[in-house]
Structure 1
Amino acid sequence: MLDNQNTSVNRTKPDRWKADIALSVDMYNDWFMKFAPSAYRETRIQTTKDVESTLAETKNLADVGADVLRRKPDVLPTLRMSTCPPIAVDRLIGLAGVSGNLVKCMESGTIPARMNSTALAADLDKIGNIIEKMADPDIFVWLGRAAPATDVEIHRAATIVADRLCGAVANPIIRNAQEKRQLAAIGAWLEARGYKLLPPKIKFDAMPPGTFSFRLNVPVKLEGDGNTINIPVDTVVMPKTSKAGELPLLIEAKSAGDFTNVNKRRKEEAVKMNQLRATYGASVRFILFLCGYFDTGYLGYEAAEGIDWVWEHRIDELAGFGL
């Protein structure tokens, strides 16, 4: 087995970093220009359908009552984007004078299980009243008139609200699409070398040699209290040459569309590595699969933590970790 500390593919080669950063930025930008608009558009199409469903549930915003909100709490983000101006979560809590826990649960699609039924009904009515009072008349042009909304008007309004919703989560949409593409690239590389994909329910330390899986939970012990939690790992690979008792290679796919964000989040990988080492020892192997804007500050930080990486534009260097 290759030792994580003694084997280096990129970690100890800073003379290559700047050239690789430029190539990685070019690769990310090329992908973004070609595929990010379609990923955003596909999400917007589905979101538009979801907004149309919400309008149907609320009788085109004529009935945003407690019954609807109790039955369909997940419509709240759509309703917040249907007002003029759109209402942030904390602003809605303050305007309506309702339980913050209720609103935050509804944002996740649930209703607090232990909330008093009378208080719940009252708060839901308050939320509905705010939405109805602040519904954007320039979007929902049928409000206040006798004639009902037409199909064209409903679809147009749903598209506008969907744009607002997608605009608020544009970065996650792009990040999710990029992660999906990165994992597909890793999977294709492994399968071309005879590795077999296993379902994600398998235990990471029970994988036979020559197999891999995506998004596995790896249990680690927390420092201090000794409690165990699961940390998700994007790709787990058991090399063909592995012997009984050896741990698989853990790969975290990372992409970034700007330099600022990665330096805010660079400690996340270091925390994972420290938790893994504390649980499984210094020989545990955890690497990054990078595409995009990762500057020398980020790379230097990860290298100092003993974390190595493979650039997507040189994916064949995965072989340097015994694959």
Structure 2
Amino acid sequence: MKASTIPISPNDKMFLFLNNCLLGIIMLVVLYPLIFVVSSSFSSPNANITGKVWLYPVDVSFEGYKAVFSNKSIMTGYANTIFYTIFGTLISVTLTVLAAYPLSRSDFKPRNVIMLLFAFTMFFSGGLIPTYILVKELGMLDTRWAMLIPSALSVFNIIITRSFFQGTPSELLEASQMDGCSDFRYLGSILLPLSKPILAVMTLFYAVAQWNAFFDALLYLSKEGLQPLQIVLRQILVSNNFDAAMMNTVNIDQMVAKQGISELLKYSLIIVASIPLLVVYPFIQKYFVKGIMIGAIKG
């Protein structure tokens, strides 16, 4: 027996057509800059500085990627960013879970007061200068801890994680307590295995924040051996500018060549810096969508 289909009215067809057109335009607006950066990174320096690159690579060249992987400061910054991302995310997710779990328990009496104190910090803070003084007095300037500790915890992420924990059946906790299970055992053996979606969300949030961390490194790190990739990229962008007053004392051909290499290096470095997150995201996307929706509506 053939299944009946619901006819689509002309108004619905018009809505779907306009909606698809709008989404197509948004997709092009978002996608074109990405295509442009990729094409520019594979084009020659001369093609970049003369504006010949629009959509496809022009005079295909790998000079930018060779310069990226042969530059010691870039590779050091890349290694530092990977270190900060891995260990910073691990510390942040651990602290978030340990803070959100007791706040999700209805039998934890001070939870409302503690949550109020947490929420207070979302709207009021000591400010930039007191924070810098605090980091300095703790001896974390020019150390890796300056990138891991000051931004280790997000109150917003605590609230999302707490809401997710509150959505788990309370019978699981009661059954585990009857079997003599401790809170840490319940958290590690029962609750966390059921919380993969929200853990994936927290991991992605913290990892992206750590990977893109720029301002903290600019404030707290002056040693080149500790600076992340974002600071190196900034230095390349800054060095890409030159003073017009120097035109009479600098060889123009050398300046143009340097300008072309700097422009090419900028695009290549953007691609290299973005690849890890682009590779990881598809594997946790299903957990990300589920976790963020549940964390938003539960509670």
TM-score calculated relative to the size of structure 2? 0.32
Higher relative contact order (CA 8 A, sep 6+): 2
Q: 1 or 2, which has the higher helix percentage?
A: 2
Q: 1 or 2, which has the higher strand percentage?
A: 1
TM-score calculated relative to the size of structure 1? 0.30
